[in-house]
Structure 1
Amino acid sequence: MPRTPTVKQRTANSETVKENAVQSHVDELREIKASAHRGPGARATEAQHAKGKLTARERIDLLLDEASFCEVESLRRHRASGFGLEAKKPYTDGVITGWGTVHGRTVFVYAHDFRIFGGALGEAHAEKIHKVMDLAASAGAPLVSLNDGAGARIQEGVTALAGYGGIFRRNTKASGVIPQISVMLGPCAGGAAYSPALTDFVFMVRETSQMFITGPDVVRAVTGEEITQNGLGGADVHAGTSGVAHFAYDDEQSCLEDVRFLLSLLPSNNRELAPVARGTDPADRTNAALLELVPSDPSRSYDVRRVIEEIVDDGEHFEVHPSWAPNLVCTLARLDGHVVGIVANNPGAMAGVLDIEASDEGARFVQFCDAFNIPLVTLVDVPGFLPGVDQEHGGIIRHGAKLLYAYCNATVPRISLVLRKAYGGAYIVMDSRSVGADLSLAWPSNEIAVMGAQGAADIIFRREIKAADVPESVRQQKIKEYTAELMHPYYAAERGLVDDVIDPRDTRAVLIRSLAMLRTKHADLPSRKHGNPPQ
């Protein structure tokens, strides 16, 4: 007769059955996740590659450190029915969400998968994005969106539009709390374009990415104008004309490489400082080249980028808006390993004047640096605001006030350095001592005045000049007198409006010592909900 199983044997048999059941579920789960990872199939992937575009997962792999990506809600599917949706419920619902690391620091990411519903946003799709945005804000880590979508999913109606509203609200709440970066890798039309516009930086790729509120067909129907998608909202248009995009690239690989570099310069959130990365560039390195780079004649031009390269660590800096408003350079760099934001007039473009676009660019950059604890260094060589009917009618007063407001409102360490001329209201706006710069420095070549000597002499002494037998001779004499009396290099320093006049060769060392002193700066803000900056 067969022996009756013992209690121990029965328990062992039961555990074996359970293990087999669990293993069956694990195998099923692996297959489902593998299916979700593969996406809609090889043909869809080939079609994506044929457009010169990478898939969403390929982009994530380029952005994040190797094998660091942790996906959330990979098994999410839409719940919609009708219009053919009930027969097609792919995993991920067309957006991949999660987190990983960039240079070892946590970064959250979501990437539209154009292979699924053209990356169009539906209810479940939006909820996945909401989830990862909430996680990024809670964890205090940057958020990068890889955008490649066709807008709202028409079949889901108003629920898709409500999904965009949730994204916009989260963009706004996270503004100034965590860095938000939008990378445009495909089309972005209609209301979808507003999320990137709410973020801190926008990257675009030529030929494959476009942004516009109304496409070429609508423009043609309403205005009769003929224009291509790239001509209307391509990378070069937004990087050089509209200012919507901060950076434009020829390919996705170089674009994502620079996103990684930008993240290395930024703090994870507004409660932290940017990471320090000291190299081999000596803090006390002299800058003899500056004597040749900057002409002593204030009317001669030069490229201020070369000045910046001479001052900063290893000559490396990352310019924001390099193709827009070239008369003002805004860039991130390091001084003795510490990240700084540099705002500089560029006499190599439009003589370095401030205009509407330069004012907008500078204001946004100053606000960003202030929000994320990045000290500001301002290099001043400005002849004034750009005159003209177009500028006045375009609101140069309002736009210039944006830059003024941003500087006055900034509480981070602020150092201004007058390289040559600083005239009129533009001098005040470029972080002068009177609007709150912690230290105001100048080179011996500085000319700080209400206006240039020639214009001042023509106004003050116009009667004497007009009555003279040789008017031009008297005019030149009065110009010399005005320069000697009110525009000599130590005039502002004698009146306490400049803290020190320094040797240009000591610029790097002086800036580094000054920033080290200001590192523990504390500024009290007035009690208020928020200010009302000029728009």
Structure 2
Amino acid sequence: MGWDKELDEIAQRRQAAKALGGEPAVARQHAKARLTIRERIDALLDPGSFREIGPIAGAAEHTDTGELAGMTPANFVLGFGKIAGRPCVAGGEDFTIAAGSPNLAGLRKSIYTEELACQYRVPLVRLHEGSGGSVTGSAGKGAPPTPPEPVYAPHRFASVGRALATVPVATAALGAVAGLPAVRLVSSHYCVMTRQTAQVLVGGPALVERALGQAASKDDLGGAAVHEKSGVIDDVVDDEAAAFAAIRRFLSYLPQHVWALPPALPCTDDRNRADQRLADIVPVDRRHVFDMRAVVRAVVDQESFFEIGRRYGSGQITGLARLLGCPVGVLANDCRQLAGSMTAAGARKVRRFVEFCQTFHLPVLNFVDEPGFMIGAEAEMEGTVRAGAGAVLAVAMATIPWASIMVRKSMGLGAAAHYAPGSYILAWPSAESGALPVEGGVAVAFGREIAAAADPAARRRELEAQFAARRSPFPRAEALSVHDLIDPRETRARLCDWIELAWPLLDQQVGPTSFTYRP
């Protein structure tokens, strides 16, 4: 007889698992312009590279004679695959079964994802659409309750913390994500959501209305318009294809794990390329703004700048790029947003980004136009000084190679978040530095004199011009307070020279990092 019966049952179970929640449920998913989890994984990974873990995990039903009558597969799909030829772990909820609320096998596979990534030291990608636990339990309605975990069980989130400390983790919200999946979604280094089809929620509308008496839709509670400014999500994209492309690009700058260096690639961009626009991109009139992103793109390798979190803490620009083929973190100020000042949100953004670069050994290019911490009643209520201190200390404790380009303002305590120990510092002719921006400093120090003047406005302008002249970068260069005062068009060439010297130093930094207490 052999094992024909068992082999046939394996095939039947595999076929049932591939069918997910059945044709009607899959059709409903497609009708809402959303892919199934299996389609998502295939779209994310290199073609044909997916190797599933636990493909027949689930709850089987048998006839009285022991024949397989049916099967409800685990509503979480998990396995190994490749992105750009490099191994990774990928998984996500199957919304076609119980709206992604984990059944017993699905929960086990979900929890196992981080363990797998840590064990094999490969990046982890989670594609989320699902709710958290159900009042009926993971076994479903009518089933006896699942016994609670014993007191000696490992903490469910311990592996989440280990993964974040050792391998790149990227996630996507591709539908409604609530409860446990929402916590796992944001427990990542990079998180993206689709604009029209995704929401991220601690609790959904029914739960919120019952608990708080507040009527709100999923989009009101956690749509893209909410979270691209809340800091929960790093990027919002138009559709699922764009989400997969963003994740693939994000991972292309990162090592497989912290015991390896980021992947340097051959560079076809001229290291001595001198963009003529940089000569006068900063206006002579200090009251006028300019495009810092254009500065960044003019310096790093062409088409390599990948911005992260543009709508959150918008005075601070963060992203990834390549310089002479080497991956780098990019930190800059956007003077078109509150003059580039550091708000509480901006400070939290900087701190998280610096810790991310430190974790994965990414040198930082910092283009500085910082007027200082944001001031005012709203800034005080948001706790700007505490958040700002956390950002400053993150930079002060950083050991990664760091290059700071003084583009324009470098003012006050906020400026301390732009110069790590041992920074390579270049200044442009437009650079100015001091304890306070000239306008505010003059108003504080000479308020009475200005008020008593025959023409207060003229006296204010006179004093501002006088103190602005004192902030010339030439004295800094004379005092060796910068490594050099340069023609802005030289910036790329000088930074390429620097990265050649700094990159070999990263060999001494491989392995996990740690962070001391910060306010």
TM-score clears 0.5: yes
- The 5 A counterparts of 1:362-381 are 362-381=350-369
Judged with a 3 Å threshold, the aligned counterparts in structure 2 of structure 1 residues 227 and 477 are, in CA distance, closer, same or farther, namely same
Per mean C-alpha deviation after superposition, the further-off stretch among 464-473 and 272-281 is: 464-473
CA deviation profile, 1:90-109 (whole Å, cap 9, x unmatched): 35411111111000000101
Could you tell me whether the CA contact under 8 Å between 2:131 and 2:179 is conserved in 1? Answer: no
- The answer to whether structure 1 residue 207 and structure 2 residue 190 are counterparts is no
Partner of 1:149: 130
Partner of 1:510: 494
Partner of 1:438: 423
Amino acid paired to 2:495:
L
Amino acid paired to 2:176:
P
How far has the Cα of 1:245 moved from its partner?
0.6
Partner of 1:13: none
CA deviation profile, 1:148-174 (whole Å, cap 9, x unmatched): 112114333685986998542211122
Residue 175 of structure 1: SS of its match in structure 2? helix
Residue 165 of structure 2: SS of its match in structure 1? coil
Partner of 2:111: 130
Partner of 1:295: 283
Partners of 1:61 and 1:159 lie apart in 2 by 33
Judged with a 3 Å threshold, the aligned counterparts in structure 2 of structure 1 residues 190 and 25 are, in CA distance, closer, same or farther, namely closer
Could you tell me whether the CA contact under 8 Å between 1:318 and 1:333 is conserved in 2? Answer: yes
Partner of 2:221: 232
- The 5 A counterparts of 1:443-454 are 443-454=428-439
Partners of 2:211 and 2:480 lie apart in 1 by 59
Judged with a 3 Å threshold, the aligned counterparts in structure 2 of structure 1 residues 440 and 66 are, in CA distance, closer, same or farther, namely same
Partners of 2:107 and 2:372 lie apart in 1 by 47
Partner of 2:338: 350
Per mean C-alpha deviation after superposition, the further-off stretch among 200-209 and 368-377 is: 200-209
- The answer to whether structure 1 residue 120 and structure 2 residue 109 are counterparts is no
- The answer to whether structure 1 residue 60 and structure 2 residue 41 are counterparts is yes
Partners of 1:160 and 1:532 lie apart in 2 by 38
Partner of 1:180: 169
Q: 1:320 aligns with which of 298, 301, 308?
A: 308
Residue 185 of structure 1: SS of its match in structure 2? strand
- The answer to whether structure 1 residue 499 and structure 2 residue 488 are counterparts is no
- The 5 A counterparts of 1:100-499 are 100-156=81-137, 166-240=155-229, 242-431=230-419, 435-461=420-446, 475-484=460-469, 486-499=470-483
Residue 302 of structure 2: SS of its match in structure 1? helix
Provide the alpha-carbon RMSD of the alignment.
Answer: 2.8
Partners of 2:315 and 2:95 lie apart in 1 by 38
Could you tell me whether the CA contact under 8 Å between 1:63 and 1:102 is conserved in 2? Answer: yes
Could you tell me whether the CA contact under 8 Å between 2:77 and 2:94 is conserved in 1? Answer: yes
Could you tell me whether the CA contact under 8 Å between 2:205 and 2:216 is conserved in 1? Answer: yes
Using the size of structure 2 for normalisation, the TM-score is 0.89
Partner of 1:76: 57
- The answer to whether structure 1 residue 533 and structure 2 residue 514 are counterparts is no
Judged with a 3 Å threshold, the aligned counterparts in structure 2 of structure 1 residues 203 and 483 are, in CA distance, closer, same or farther, namely closer
Amino acid paired to 2:517:
N
Judged with a 3 Å threshold, the aligned counterparts in structure 2 of structure 1 residues 166 and 455 are, in CA distance, closer, same or farther, namely closer
How far has the Cα of 1:294 moved from its partner?
2.3
Judged with a 3 Å threshold, the aligned counterparts in structure 2 of structure 1 residues 236 and 480 are, in CA distance, closer, same or farther, namely closer
CA deviation profile, 1:221-261 (whole Å, cap 9, x unmatched): 45444321111101231112x11011112211111121111
Amino acid paired to 1:365:
F
Judged with a 3 Å threshold, the aligned counterparts in structure 2 of structure 1 residues 341 and 160 are, in CA distance, closer, same or farther, namely farther
Partners of 1:100 and 1:524 lie apart in 2 by 28
Structure 1 or 2: larger helix share?
A: 1
Could you tell me whether the CA contact under 8 Å between 1:416 and 1:440 is conserved in 2? Answer: yes
- The 5 A counterparts of 1:30-41 are 30-41=11-22
Residue 132 of structure 1: SS of its match in structure 2? helix
Per mean C-alpha deviation after superposition, the further-off stretch among 384-393 and 70-79 is: 70-79
Judged with a 3 Å threshold, the aligned counterparts in structure 2 of structure 1 residues 146 and 460 are, in CA distance, closer, same or farther, namely closer
Judged with a 3 Å threshold, the aligned counterparts in structure 2 of structure 1 residues 279 and 236 are, in CA distance, closer, same or farther, namely farther
Judged with a 3 Å threshold, the aligned counterparts in structure 2 of structure 1 residues 299 and 89 are, in CA distance, closer, same or farther, namely farther
Partners of 2:353 and 2:156 lie apart in 1 by 23
Q: 2:80 aligns with which of 81, 99, 102?
A: 99
Amino acid paired to 1:501:
L
Amino acid paired to 1:227:
A
CA deviation profile, 1:173-231 (whole Å, cap 9, x unmatched): 22221011121122222343222222212111123221111222333345444321111
Could you tell me whether the CA contact under 8 Å between 1:78 and 1:125 is conserved in 2? Answer: no
Partners of 1:492 and 1:472 lie apart in 2 by 30
Judged with a 3 Å threshold, the aligned counterparts in structure 2 of structure 1 residues 64 and 420 are, in CA distance, closer, same or farther, namely same
Partners of 1:443 and 1:407 lie apart in 2 by 22
Residue 111 of structure 1: SS of its match in structure 2? strand
Amino acid paired to 1:265:
Y
CA deviation profile, 1:484-524 (whole Å, cap 9, x unmatched): 4x412222233333221111001111111112111133679
Per mean C-alpha deviation after superposition, the further-off stretch among 308-317 and 410-419 is: 308-317
Could you tell me whether the CA contact under 8 Å between 1:449 and 1:487 is conserved in 2? Answer: yes
Judged with a 3 Å threshold, the aligned counterparts in structure 2 of structure 1 residues 73 and 471 are, in CA distance, closer, same or farther, namely closer
How far has the Cα of 1:380 moved from its partner?
0.6
Partners of 1:32 and 1:126 lie apart in 2 by 19
Partners of 1:520 and 1:461 lie apart in 2 by 51
Partners of 1:325 and 1:363 lie apart in 2 by 11
Size of the aligned set, in residue pairs, is 502
Could you tell me whether the CA contact under 8 Å between 1:189 and 1:211 is conserved in 2? Answer: yes
Using the size of structure 1 for normalisation, the TM-score is 0.87
Per mean C-alpha deviation after superposition, the further-off stretch among 278-287 and 344-353 is: 278-287
Partners of 2:452 and 2:195 lie apart in 1 by 62
CA deviation profile, 1:256-312 (whole Å, cap 9, x unmatched): 121111111211111112212234211111121112432232221122111111112
Partners of 1:260 and 1:524 lie apart in 2 by 25
Amino acid paired to 2:173:
M
Partners of 1:471 and 1:236 lie apart in 2 by 45
Runs of 5+ unmatched residues, structure 2: 62-67, 139-144
How far has the Cα of 1:406 moved from its partner?
1.6
Bigger Rg, which one: 1
Amino acid paired to 2:131:
A
Partners of 2:180 and 2:78 lie apart in 1 by 21
